[in-house]
Amino acid sequence: MSEEFDGDWLDLREPFDARARHAGLALDLAELLPPRPHLVDLGAGTGALLRWLAPILNRSQRWTLVDADAGLLARAFATIEERAIGAGWATTWPRRDTLLVHTPQGVWRVDARTADLSGGASALPLDGADAVVSTALCDLVSRRWVNAMAATLRVPFYAALNVNGQERFFPPHPADRLVAHGFARDQIRDKGFGGRALGPRAPRAMAEAFRAMGFHVRTAPSPWLVGANTPVMADTLAEGHGRAALSALPRGMAPLIRGWMEARRAQAMRGRLGARIGHTDLLAVPMAVPTTGRS
């Protein structure tokens, strides 16, 4: 079973994700897809990628949200409907597990499938997809998982917000390097996807895997920029990094790490902590599909 994520954390990060994703790659994907595309969103969580990407596609479309957590998928449907009604769009439910959002540009059909993503491409509902998409997933998976996905797909693969190891907090702190080392070790532990997680190696591993299978691959930077004016996010990030370092490093390092966490929390609460968390977006397109070359 793969790792689980808290819905409140996914809601907190949604606006940072939206600002960070590389719009050029998303527009390239939009131009590659047919008039009414079917997208399968792996690790969809609360549906944040749909809410960001669907308006960019700007036409009728179908989404299959796939996640191991049925509770997150239920939250996704509720949030998608709430945002649609807030925008003045009608919503209908032809079935209990199918939501239709009636936008001025066309109907969005949203379905959901509960599935354990750790089983890889052969165990996932990918049939009929015009593209397979994800956010913050592929740095959790193993090289074997990525290789199997690349070998299976014959449609575009879009993976947003994969960590690349280029993160820093500011202002600097003497224990920054220690915490970063522990966080990096935690990123590559086995997270339930058939081997050690790729962590910051994910962008390169994905590019290699898909190019080996005849895909044209483009990548683009998509860093989170967390300002001191967003203290809750800054504090949450620091706490997450600190906890990861505590779990990954020897116990003798704990006092230094806890001191770093306390200092960072105090800075965040005073509106003095910022961070830049490096991510990379990737779009892999089968050679048979024309590419736009926008990015």
| CATH number where 97 lies | 3.40.50.150
Average pLDDT value for residue range 44-50: 97
- Taken as a whole, the chain contains a residue count of 295
Q: Please indicate, yes or no, if residue 236 is contained in any of the structural domains.
A: no
Looking at residue 290, what is its pLDDT?
57
In whole numbers, what is the pLDDT of the chain averaged over residues?
95
| 272 lies in some domain | no
Considering the chain, what percentage of its residues have pLDDT values greater than 90? Answer: 92
> For position 4, what pLDDT does the model report?
56
Q: Which amino acid is at 276?
A: R
How many other C-beta atoms lie within 10 A of the C-beta of residue 34?
10
Strands 61-67 and 90-95: unpaired
pLDDT at 5 over 70: no
- Residue 81's domain comprises 7-165+190-225+279-286
Q: What is the pLDDT of residues 102-148, one digit of tens each?
A: 999 999 999 999 999 998 888 899 999 999 999 999 999 999 999 99
Residue 242 falls within a domain, yes or no? no
291 lies in some domain: no
Give the pLDDT confidence score for residue 45 in this predicted structure.
Answer: 97
Residue 67 lies in a domain: yes
The CA–CA distances, whole Å, from 237 to 18, 257, 262, 276 equal: 17, 14, 13, 10
Q: What is the CA radius of gyration of the chain?
A: 19
Looking at residues 22-32, what average pLDDT do you find?
98
Other beta carbons within 10 angstroms of residue 249's beta carbon come to 19
Strands 274-286, 157-170: pairing is antiparallel
- Per-residue pLDDT, 291: 56
pTM (2 d.p.): 0.93
- Count: domains in the chain: 1
Residue 252 domain-assigned (yes or no): no
